[in-house]
């Protein structure tokens, strides 16, 4: 059985997603990650469409890819023009990518009503373009745009377009669900029909046609992953997709789901088991580079993909993980998480404490104390399931083990507004470490930013360089109950990360600055505590 090849189009189709843009340098970094993951083809963009794409391909000439083939993208020649004079086809050759993907029209509606072209000329455009690229030494992947809509409208003609690509010498023929409106059972039936029709047709030489089919699915009905899997079941040997499903409208088929399904559920090893463990890291890297908040509920690689909240669930998972997990999260580089909330049971608290390196007493006294306090605090608005850092500090305080790395003496924040200029802020604060006190002043874009900068500046005098790798990832503010108007309590959650970990902290107050301070201090107390423990282990 031929393996299933992965074509990643994050750097091309993924960039068509709303609010997603990569610089050429960022695209190179992502391409290196994808190559290290073991992806077979990396589609880098449309040469000749803009300067940024050309810059990427120029930079890529200095990169040696170990696993992936760099792929350039464009369309067939224009109507009434020769391939030799078509600038887009020649740009594909000039960029020196070893593989090219070209798309052509399949749907007679598009050809006649949108392009004002003839069906006959369209067939010539496909055949001529593929042949020209093959004669210039390129591996060619032909994308049959709108294939499934074209098939439903005019089956005979849609299949004719595929024969034109095969006559030109296409190495792969990809069927595209461009509008994302086809369902899995339709995909499977159509691909089986296409494969049977093509392979039962003879060429002019008398030989039988062979076809290596791919699938390019969009997610407008929420079934792009299912359509891709159905295609493989029907005989497709190439899947196009993007990391995290980024793409135009509702996105493309998500490779972070497709890859583990193929490898772990269908025993189709499109990646090695060793590389599969890199999947979550790659997902996170691409989302960070795109400046997109990672989707916690994303299957396989999301932060919540293996998170357990109900006490009964946690109790069972502690004994036999498969009772509430369909696979070992470590296979895709993820990990099991237990959430702590007012719904938490004894198992949740004990599991979470062990995860955070906290030893509880054996008779359960500490556990019951912690559960009671969490339930009380959640009535006030605290939410510890998203704040591991604050939860750890709370538990240590309840057990009398908390040793603060710094203490606040006072702070003052001034907000400055000048005409026609955005607000700025200045914070001054006094903290103490033991008997030593420090006063620092710092500016920021807003009051929280100024406080953050001032606290970092002060702590750097006591713990030089310790917080350099700590960055804020997410910042959420929510009014807990708006009935009190401007006096209402707010809940502020900060998510932070360093080179190894991600953690959340929380603050509650009827003053947003005070709530921010509470979350900020928990963040840095947690980080400094981890540093101290790492030193102890060494």
Same domain, 188 and 210: yes
Segment among 188-197, 204-213, 496-505 with least mean pLDDT:
496-505
DSSP per-residue letters across 143-181: EEETHHHHHHH-HHHHHHHHHHHHHHT-SEEEEEETTS-
pLDDT-based confidence at residue 350 (cuts at 50, 70, 90): confident
Same domain, 224 and 147: yes
Q: What is the pLDDT of residue 1?
A: 61
pLDDT-based confidence at residue 81 (cuts at 50, 70, 90): very high
CATH of the domain at 448: 3.30.160.270
Question: Which of 243, 271, 299 is where one domain is finished?
Answer: 271
Q: What is the pLDDT of residue 428?
A: 96
Residue 214: other Cβ atoms inside 10 A: 25
pTM of structure: 0.77
> What is the pLDDT averaged over residues 442-471?
92
Same domain, 392 and 429: no
> What is the pLDDT averaged over residues 404-410?
95
Q: What is the pLDDT of residue 537?
A: 64
Same domain, 43 and 167: yes
> What is the pLDDT averaged over residues 181-195?
98
Q: What is the pLDDT of residue 362?
A: 58
Same domain, 523 and 420: yes
pLDDT at residue 497 greater than cutoff 90: no
- Per DSSP bridges, beta strands 139-145 and 172-177 are parallel
CATH of the domain at 165: 3.20.20.70
**Residue that has been written with the tokens 């993924």 in this structure:** 14
Q: What is the DSSP letter of 113?
A: I
> What is the pLDDT averaged over residues 237-249?
98
Residue 34: other Cβ atoms inside 10 A: 25
Same domain, 96 and 61: yes
Same domain, 167 and 216: yes
Same domain, 376 and 500: no
Classify residue 276: in a domain, yes or no: no
pLDDT tens-place string over residues 283-324: 989 988 888 888 989 999 998 999 888 778 888 888 899 999
| Tokens encoding 378 | 């959640």
Segment among 91-95, 352-356, 430-434 with least mean pLDDT:
352-356
Classify residue 489: in a domain, yes or no: yes
List, in order, residues 6 or more apart from 248 with CB less than 8 Å away.
Answer: 13, 16, 17, 218
List, in order, residues 6 or more apart from 137 with CB less than 8 Å away.
Answer: none
Same domain, 331 and 444: no
pLDDT tens-place string over residues 6-44: 999 999 999 999 999 999 999 999 999 999 999 999 999
Q: What is the pLDDT of residue 363?
A: 65
pLDDT tens-place string over residues 209-237: 999 999 999 999 999 999 999 999 999 99
Residue 152: other Cβ atoms inside 10 A: 14
Classify residue 297: in a domain, yes or no: no
| Tokens encoding 319 | 């004994």
Q: What is the pLDDT of residue 482?
A: 54
Domain that holds residue 151: 5-271
Same domain, 56 and 166: yes
Question: Are 153 and 107 within 8 A, CB to CB?
Answer: yes
Kindly tell me the sign of the dihedral angle through the C-alpha atoms of 163, 99, 8, 15: negative
Classify residue 291: in a domain, yes or no: no
pLDDT mean across residues, the chain: 91
Q: What is the pLDDT of residue 171?
A: 98
Same domain, 392 and 454: no
Classify residue 10: in a domain, yes or no: yes
> What is the pLDDT averaged over residues 55-70?
96
Question: Which of 398, 419, 437 is where one domain is finished?
Answer: 398
Q: What is the pLDDT of residue 342?
A: 57
Q: What is the pLDDT of residue 451?
A: 94
Question: Which of 398, 422, 438 is where one domain is finished?
Answer: 398
Same domain, 343 and 487: no
Classify residue 425: in a domain, yes or no: yes
> What is the pLDDT averaged over residues 442-465?
93
Classify residue 281: in a domain, yes or no: no
pLDDT at residue 486 greater than cutoff 60: no
Number of domains composing the chain: 3
């Amino acid at each position: 059985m031929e393996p299933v090849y992965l074509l990643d189009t994050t750097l091309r189709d993924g960039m068509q997603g709303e609010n997603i843009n990569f610089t050429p340098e960022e695209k190179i970094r992502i391409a290196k990650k994808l190559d290290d993951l073991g992806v077979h083809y990396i589609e880098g963009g449309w040469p000749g469409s803009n300067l940024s794409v050309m810059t990427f391909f120029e930079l890529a000439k200095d990169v040696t890819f170990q696993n992936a083939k760099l792929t350039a993208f464009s369309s067939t020649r224009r109507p009434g023009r020769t391939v030799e004079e078509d600038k887009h086809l020649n740009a594909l050759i000039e960029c020196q990518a070893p593989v090219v993907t070209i798309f052509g029209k399949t749907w007679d509606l598009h050809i006649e009503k949108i392009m004002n072209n003839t069906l006959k000329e369209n067939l010539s455009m496909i055949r001529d373009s593929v042949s020209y690229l093959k004669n210039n030494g390129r591996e060619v992947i032909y994308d049959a745009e709108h294939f499934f809509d074209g098939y439903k409208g005019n089956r005979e003609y849609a299949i004719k377009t595929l024969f034109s690509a095969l006559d030109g010498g296409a190495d792969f023929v990809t069927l595209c669900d461009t509008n994302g409106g086809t369902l899995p059972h339709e995909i499977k039936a159509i691909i089986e029909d296409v494969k049977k029709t093509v392979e039962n047709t003879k060429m002019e030489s008398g030989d039988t046609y062979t076809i290596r089919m791919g699938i390019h699915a969009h997610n407008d009905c929420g079934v792009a992953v299912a359509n891709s899997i159905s295609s493989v079941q029907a005989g497709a040997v190439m899947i196009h997709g993007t990391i995290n499903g980024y793409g135009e409208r509702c996105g493309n088929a998500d490779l972070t789901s497709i890859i583990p399904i193929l490898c772990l559920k269908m025993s189709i090893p499109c990646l090695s088991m060793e590389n599969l463990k890199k999947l979550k890291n790659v997902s996170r890297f691409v989302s960070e580079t795109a400046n997109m908040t990672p989707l916690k509920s994303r299957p396989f690689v999301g932060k919540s993909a293996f998170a357990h909240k109900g006490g009964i669930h946690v109790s069972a998972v502690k004994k036999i993980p498969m009772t509430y997990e369909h696979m070992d999260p470590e296979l895709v580089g993820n990990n099991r998480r237990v959430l702590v909330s007012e719904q938490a049971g004894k198992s949740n608290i004990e599991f979470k404490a062990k995860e955070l390196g906290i030893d509880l007493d054996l008779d359960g006294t500490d556990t019951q104390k912690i559960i009671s306090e969490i339930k009380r605090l959640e009535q006030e608005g605290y939410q510890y399931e998203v704040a591991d850092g604050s939860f750890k500090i709370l538990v240590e305080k309840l057990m009398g083990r908390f040793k603060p790395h710094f203490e606040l003496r006072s702070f003052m924040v001034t907000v400055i507004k000048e005409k026609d200029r955005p607000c700025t802020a200045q914070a001054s604060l006094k903290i103490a470490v033991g008997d030593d006190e420090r006063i620092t002043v710092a500016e920021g874009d807003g009051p929280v930013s100024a406080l953050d900068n001032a606290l970092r500046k002060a702590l750097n005098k006591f713990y030089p360089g310790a917080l350099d790798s700590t960055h804020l990832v997410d910042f959420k503010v929510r009014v807990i109950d708006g009935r009190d108007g401007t006096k209402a309590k707010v809940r502020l959650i900060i998510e932070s990360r360093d080179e190894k970990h991600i953690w959340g902290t929380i603050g509650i107050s009827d003053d947003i600055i005070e709530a921010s301070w509470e979350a900020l201090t928990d963040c840095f107390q947690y980080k400094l505590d981890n540093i101290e423990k790492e030193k102890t282990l060494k």
